[in-house]
Chain A
Amino acid sequence: MTPVAPVLTTERLTLRAQTPSDAEAHAAFYGSVRSAGMGGPLDRPQAWRQFAAELGHWLLRGYGFWMVEVTETGQTVGQVGFWNPDGWTEVEIGWAMFEGSEGKGYAYEAALTARAYAYDTLGWGPLTSVIVPGNTRSEALAARLGARPERDWLSPSGRQAVIWRHPSKAELA
C-alpha cells in the first residue's frame, strides 16, 4: 500500500510526499518553538508519531501535507498541504516553514498551487485554515491568500483556534 501523493511543481518549488529521510528535518521543526502553531514543540518520539500520521493521512484521505522543496537546490524548506484528521472541523490548508526559510514567499507560492489543486482538480469548495490566535506570520499569509477569520474553534486537543475561510474558486476567478 503506497500513498498516491501527486507531485506539484511551481515556479521555484516542488511539493512531494514525505520519504523516510525527511523525518530528521521534520523532527527538528517540531522540536523548536516554530511549531507552536502546529501543536508543538514535540519531543522526538512524539514528532515521529506526527510524521507517521502525516504519511498515514495520505493513505486514509488521499491527500495530506507535502514536503516543500526548492527545485533547484533540493533543499527542504517546509510543509504545505491539507489536514483533516478525525475530529477536525473540515479539511484545512496548512503550512509550516522551517528555520531560515521564511520571507522568501515560498509558503505563499506553495499554498497557491495546493489550493488550486484542491479547487480545480479535487473539486473542493472554499477551504479553511485553522490558526492559533497570535500566530501572526501565519495570519498574515492567510490574509495574503485572501482568507478571512470566520469563527472561533476549540480543537479536539482543547486548543483555542480561529477558523479562517479562503475565497471560493468563483471568488478567485
Chain B
Amino acid sequence: MSLTTLPRIALTTERLTLRVPEERDFDAFAGWIADGARSHWVGGPGSRDEAREGFDFMRAHWAEKGFGYFHVALTATGRALGRVGISHPAHRAEPEVAYALYAASDEGQGYATEAARAVRDWGFGALGLPGLVSYIAPENLGSIALARRLGARAEGTTTGRDGREQIVYRHPRPEEART
C-alpha cells in the first residue's frame, strides 16, 4: 500500500465520522499542533513543518499497518474535531487507543469518548487485537477521566519517548466492557 493509495475507511457513530486522514485535513491538524495549550501532551507547540512531519507519520502508519489515527469530524457539518485512533509506533509495547480534540470549545460534549469507544470496539472486534492500552501522563486528567469512562484501569507505568512517566491504562475487552 503506497501513501497515495491509503484505504478509504470510515467509522461512523451517532454524531461523528472518523476517516483516514486526507490532505485536506492537514490545516486543522497543524492548527492543533501550533496551539501549545492543546498540543503539549504530544510535544507541542510545533511549527507547520513539524505538523507536516506528524501528519505524514500518521499517513505512513496507515500505509504500513492498515490502521492508525482517524480524522474525526462532526457528521452534520463536516467540521474537524480532532484525531482519534489506534496508534502503534515502534517504541510502544502495545497498540494504543489515543485521542485528542483540537479545540477546548469542543470539550465536554462527549465527542472524544464517542470516537474512542468506536475505535476501541473496532480494534477488538474487527482487527482482533489481543490488547489495547492508553498511555497517559499522570497530570493529563481529562484523558484519564475519558479512559476511565471507557472502563480502562491503570495497571502500571511506563516511560514515554520524552523520558517522562506515563500511566498505562488497559481497556477492557468487549466481553468485559459495559460501556
Contacts and interface: CB of A to CB of B under 8 A. Distances in A.
Interface of A: 3-4, 6-10, 59, 61-63, 113, 116-117, 120-123
Nearest 5 CB-CB pairings of A with B: A62-B125, A121-B66, A62-B126, A120-B66, A7-B10
B1 A9 contact: no
Given A4-B118, A6-B122, A121 B10 contact: no
Given A4-B125, A63-B126, A121-B66, A116 B7 contact: yes
Contact of B9 (A3, A62, A63, A117): A117
A65 to B, nearest CB: 14
In this complex, the member of B7, B118, B125, B126 whose beta carbon has the largest number of chain A beta carbons within 10 angstroms is: B126
Interface of B: 1, 7-12, 66-67, 118, 121-122, 124-128
A21 B126 CA distance: 24
Nearest to A7: B10
17 contacts: A4-B121, A6-B11, A7-B9, A7-B10, A7-B12, A8-B7, A8-B8, A62-B125, A62-B127, A113-B8, A117-B9, A120-B7, A121-B67, A122-B126, A122-B127, A122-B128, A123-B127
A122 B118 CA distance: 16
Given A4-B118, A62-B126, A122-B126, A9 B66 contact: no
Given A121-B67, A123-B66, A10 B125 contact: no
A4 B11 contact: yes
B114 to A, nearest CB: 11
A13 to B, nearest CB: 10
A121 B66 CA distance: 4
A122 B125 CA distance: 10
Given A10-B8, A116-B7, A122-B126, 6 more contacts: A4-B122, A6-B122, A62-B125, A116-B1, A122-B66, A123-B127
B121 A121 contact: no
Contacts of A121: 7, 9, 66-67, 126-127
B142 to A, nearest CB: 24
Contacts of A9: 8, 10
Contacts of B10: 6-9
Nearest to B5: A116
A7 B11 contact: yes
A159 to B, nearest CB: 28
